Amino acid sequence: MNIHSVVPVSLTGGTPIVPEWTPGEASEGWRETEYRSFASADGRLFGGGWEGEPGTLRLDPYPYDEICVMISGRVALVDTEGGRREFGAGEVFFVPRGFRGVWETLEPSRKFFFAYQGA
User: Residue 91 is which amino acid?
Assistant: E
Q: What average pLDDT does this structure show over 51-78?
A: 95
Output Rg (C-alpha) for the chain, integer angstroms.
14
Q: Identify the bridge partners of residue 115 per DSSP, sorted by sequence position.
A: 46, 66
Distance CA 17, CA 46 (A): 12
Question: Which of 94, 88, 93, 53 has its CA nearest to residue 74?
Answer: 88
Lowest model confidence (mean pLDDT) among 2-6, 35-39, 101-105: 2-6
Distance CA 112, CA 47 (A): 7
Give the pLDDT confidence score for residue 111 in this predicted structure: 97
Rounded to two decimals, what is the model's pTM? 0.90
Q: Identify the bridge partners of residue 66 per DSSP, sorted by sequence position.
A: 95, 115
Q: What CATH architecture applies to the domain 14-116? A: Sandwich (2.60)
| Domain boundaries, given as residue ranges, for the chain | 14-116
pLDDT tens for each residue of 6-51: 888 888 888 999 988 888 899 988 999 999 999 999 989 999 999 9
Between 92 and 4, the higher pLDDT residue: 92
Distance CA 63, CA 76 (A): 17
